[in-house]
Amino acid sequence: MENVLQEVVQGEVLTVENLNRMNDAFAKFIFANEARKQLTLDLVNSFFEFEGTTQITDFKFSDRELDPERKLGKGVVLDVVGESSDRTLVNVEIQLQQFDDMDRRTLYYWSQLYTRRLLCGEDYESLNRTVAINILD
């Protein structure tokens, strides 16, 4: 059996030997894919179980690109984002680089997701849980 993934990332065929499992492309290949939704559920629920919070039973992947809402605003491209059947919104980020401001980056990503949940005229009480999971090098 050949040890080669069938996906090509940035022009290079990934093999078991040259694969960095913390790479964004690999994380998206594994966890941001409908065909492997159960892996995403297992990953997210492992964090929820550790925290003692309600686990999710389904996951609908969402658009990972959040365009800026104002001129000259900063857009965001997330690794994995989706919503569960109980309307819990989950973002999973995997970062290899060391960022001194990862706390601010996380809060920015989370707030971008959270503030886009309400439609005009909806009550604040309809805001549901929004979770950010960071896996850092």
* Model pLDDT for residues 92-108, shown as the tens digit of each residue: 998 877 778 889 999 99
| Structural domain harbouring 111 | 4-136
pLDDT surpassing 80 at residue 65:
yes
State residue 1's pLDDT score: 35
Tally the domains of the chain.
1
- Sorted by sequence, the CB contacts under 8 Å of residue 83 that are 6+ apart come out as 59, 60, 62, 89, 90
SS (H, E, C) the chain: CCCEEEEEECCEEEECCCCCCCCHHHHHHHHCCHHHHHHHHHHHHHHHHHHCCCCCCCCEECCCEECCCCCCCCCEECCEEEECCCCCEEEEEEECCCCCCHHHHHHHHHHHHHHCCCCCCCCHHHCCCEEEEEEEC
- Mean pLDDT, range 113-131, rounded to an integer: 91
The whole-model pTM stands at 0.78
State residue 94's pLDDT score: 87
> How far apart are the C-alpha atoms of 5 and 16, rounded to whole Å?
8
Amino acid at 129: R
* Model pLDDT for residues 7-16, shown as the tens digit of each residue: 455 566 667 6
State residue 11's pLDDT score: 63
